[in-house]
């Protein structure tokens, strides 16, 4: 039997995430695997879909449909929570990236970049073929 404490915890978690029972589309299908005649006769596997996000889970852990419904809701809440954390983290990373891109360069860094440019330029000049026009410069 499912305890009311676990049910209350699930309801509290749903409330925290702003997920409502009406947002779910629930379907029951026959499970596969071990379970004997019970599995073959009853639809104990729960397919739960959260319509706003499109997240879908399938739960056939237990032989009881009621337990599978509870477990499916826990799984889907885990996935919704993970998705929101990922989105929050992605937004923070994007803000940080933009902040770094807009940041002004230090004077030392500017000087270092100029020094590297002069060095590359000198290497390119040294690789050139010596032609008639270039000989006029050295005379």
CATH of the domain at 60: 3.30.160.20
Domain that holds residue 27: 4-99
Per-residue pLDDT reduced to its tens digit, 84-102? 999 999 999 999 999 999 9
Domain membership flag for residue 58: yes
Q: Which residue has the higher pLDDT, 32 or 121?
A: 121
Domain membership flag for residue 106: no
Domain membership flag for residue 112: no
Structure token digits, residue 100 = 């770094």
Q: Which residue has the higher pLDDT, 130 or 103?
A: 103
Cβ proximity of 50 and 19 under 8 Å: yes
Q: Where does 13-119 show beta strands of DSSP type E?
A: 24-29, 45-50, 55-59
Number of folded domains that form the chain: 1
User: Nearest 5°: CA angle at 14, between 71 and 20?
Assistant: 100
Angle between helices 65-102 and 4-17 (to 10 degrees): 30
Calpha distance 119→97 (Å, rounded): 30
Please determine, for residue 138, whether its predicted confidence score (pLDDT) is greater than 70: no
Please determine, for residue 139, whether its predicted confidence score (pLDDT) is greater than 60: no
Domain membership flag for residue 22: yes
Calpha distance 10→102 (Å, rounded): 44
Count other Cβ atoms within 10 Å, centred on residue 46.
26
Q: Where does the chain show beta strands of DSSP type E?
A: 24-29, 45-50, 55-59
């Amino acid at each position: 039997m499912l305890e009311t404490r676990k049910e209350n915890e699930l309801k509290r978690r749903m409330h925290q995430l702003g997920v409502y029972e009406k947002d779910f589309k629930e379907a029951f299908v026959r499970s596969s695997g071990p379970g004997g005649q019970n599995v073959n006769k009853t639809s104990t596997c729960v397919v739960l879909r959260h319509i706003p996000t499109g997240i879908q889970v399938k739960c056939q852990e237990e032989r009881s449909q009621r337990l599978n419904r509870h477990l499916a809701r826990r799984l889907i809440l885990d996935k919704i929570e993970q998705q929101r954390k990922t989105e929050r983290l992605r937004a923070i990373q994007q803000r940080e990236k933009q902040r770094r891109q807009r940041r002004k360069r230090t004077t030392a860094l500017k000087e270092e970049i100029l020094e590297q440019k002069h060095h590359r330029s000198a290497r390119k000049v040294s690789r050139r073929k010596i032609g008639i026009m270039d000989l006029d410069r050295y005379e």
